[in-house]
Amino acid sequence: MEAPLSYRSIFTSLLFSAAILSAQTPPALQVSSLPQHLDAARFGLRIDDGVLSGPGAAVLTDAINHSHYILIGEDHLTREIPQFATAICNLTAKQGPLTGMAIEVSPEAAAFMMRIVNSPDRWQRMVAQVKAYPWSIAVLDSRQENDMVSACAHASHNPNFHLWGLDQPFAGSAGWLMDMMLAAKPGPDAKAALLRLKADEDQDAAEAKAGAKTSALFLFSEKSEAEIEEAKPAIDHDGGAEVKRLFAELSNSYHIYRDFSQGDVDSEVERAKLLKLNFRNAMNQLAPSEKAGKIIVKFGDSHLYKGVNDNHNLNLGDYIAETAQMAGVGSLHICVLGAGGTVSAFGKYGQPTHSEEDPPMKDRALLRWMEPFKAAALPGQWTLYDLRALRYKIPRPLDSELERMLDGYDFLVIVPKFTAAQMAD
């Protein structure tokens, strides 16, 4: 029986990196001096109806005021983190123009979301999309994430608010992409090639659903590589610009997923390059009048470190930090994690999402650095730690993952208890 492919594994590659990283983690945390420093760097935080309050709110307000890019590194599919992100949007918009938000979805998913963002039946339309094309939209198929994007767009009071999807298409997106290519009215050769591909994809999806086998999906199937290569000359011949763009996205995504499923760590590097390229292109396309506005970026926490991340690559957060530094503006990196609770998770294809304990057992060795922060957290409250105040005060040597967090993020928010998000399926 095929093992479940969880949502977290798809978006952080921990299926194959956990064993590597755990082996490199020191046998005991070298943080004996950490607890005595935490009180001075710790602040209570409340969120009520999209408004931050408590001592931590003033600290975040000042930091956001001095930052052009506000990055929120998260654990996926909770009810609490979208509340936090909504409050950050509201706070940021009060300080000046909010140009847009970049999130961990494909460009097509972001575009779909913006087409429905003002619709009274927004959520129902997302549910219908996910029913028609299972596993076609990541993140936004959570009710709380969906509501967050709508709230941020409205808080911006910006009729041209941007939602950028920087990621590859989600694991079940192939059929949706092919239907979009066919709707773009390609020439006869490209159309014939796409119809053959769509027939193959329909068969793959049916097989994957019948056997609950993610590996049978088009974007994971070994035979898809030959099918993509066979279709490429026709696409190049008379596909047209939009079809060529979508086909390139399909092909690139297939190769990232293929390498990932084979345990190739370079797949995460290739994905990081894609995120950075898409972010650069998005910023370059902004009108001059939009460039002064602040940008919010919300991704899984591994993607938003300054410097080398916990998967040992230079990811989107480092690129943004370098970009900000060279432009003479600030980037603020906030990591939001839970002290426990549950998150929503994907399992096998064709089966409903489910709740799982957070953090799962396989991740706990990687998160031992959190234990002093959890122990010092304010009882029953959200707790904000200003990592900037700790970065140079704690004697070395340190546990490698703790040192990576202190250098890679400016703030750590500990949520007392996560609750699983409401999902479209």
Write out the chain's pLDDT in tens, 425 residues: 344 344 444 544 333 333 333 334 444 444 556 778 899 999 999 999 999 999 999 999 999 999 999 999 999 999 999 999 999 999 999 999 999 999 999 999 999 999 999 999 999 999 999 999 999 999 999 999 999 999 999 999 999 999 999 999 999 999 999 999 999 999 999 999 999 999 999 999 999 999 888 999 999 999 999 999 999 999 999 999 999 999 999 999 999 998 888 888 888 999 999 999 999 999 999 999 999 999 999 999 999 999 999 989 999 999 999 999 999 999 999 999 999 999 999 988 988 999 999 877 667 777 889 999 999 999 999 999 999 999 988 877 888 899 999 999 999 999 999 999 999 98
Tell me which residue of 178, 151, 171 sits closest to 346, measured CA to CA.
Answer: 171
Domain count, the chain: 2
Which of residues 209, 240, 261 is at a domain's end? Answer: 261
Q: Would 164 be classed as within a structural domain?
A: yes
What's the rounded Cα separation, in Å, for the pair 366 and 364?
A: 5
Q: CB–CB of 166/279 below 8 Å?
A: yes
2 found inside a domain: no
Residues 146 and 287 in one domain: yes
* 124 shares its domain with 194: no
| CB neighbour list of residue 89: distance below 8 Å, 6 or more residues apart | 98, 101, 148, 151, 152, 155, 156, 296
Does the residue 75 lie in any domain?
Answer: yes
Cα 70 from Cα 59, distance rounded (Å): 14
263 close to 204: Cβ distance less than 8 angstroms: no
Answer yes or no: do 140 and 288 share one domain: yes
The verdict on 157 and 207 lying in the same domain is no
Does residue 257 sit in the same domain as residue 276? Answer: no
Does any domain span residue 281? Answer: yes
What are the start-end ranges of the H helices in 135-240? 143-155, 174-183, 188-211, 224-238
Residue matched to tokens 């059929």 = 175
Q: Which of 234, 261, 288 is the last residue of a domain?
A: 261
In this structure, the answer to whether residues 98 and 35 fall within a common structural domain is: yes
Helix (H) or strand (E) holding 343: strand 342-345
Structural domain that includes position 239: 174-261
d(CA 214, CA 354): 16
> Are 208 and 330 in a shared domain?
no
Domain identity same for 199 and 329: no
Output the CA torsion 213→136→359→352 (10° steps): -60
Residue 282 tokens read as 């998005």
Nearest C-alpha neighbor of 150 from the set 118, 108, 109, 115: 118
Say if residue 118 is in the same domain as residue 219.
no
Task: Tell me how crowded residue 355 is: count the other CB atoms within 10 A of its CB.
Answer: 16
Same-domain status, 239 and 294: no
DSSP code of 272? Answer: H
Shared-domain flag, residues 246 and 329 = no
Three-state SS for 103?
strand
> Does one domain contain both 189 and 317?
no
| In-domain check, residue 31 | yes
Boundary-marking domain end, from 261, 291, 307: 261
Using left for φ > 0, alpha for ψ between -120 and 50, and beta otherwise, residue 173 falls in alpha
- In DSSP terms, 267 is beta-bridged to none
Identify whether 405 is part of a domain: yes
Strand 42-48 relative to strand 382-386, pairing: antiparallel
User: Residue 424 domain-assigned?
Assistant: no
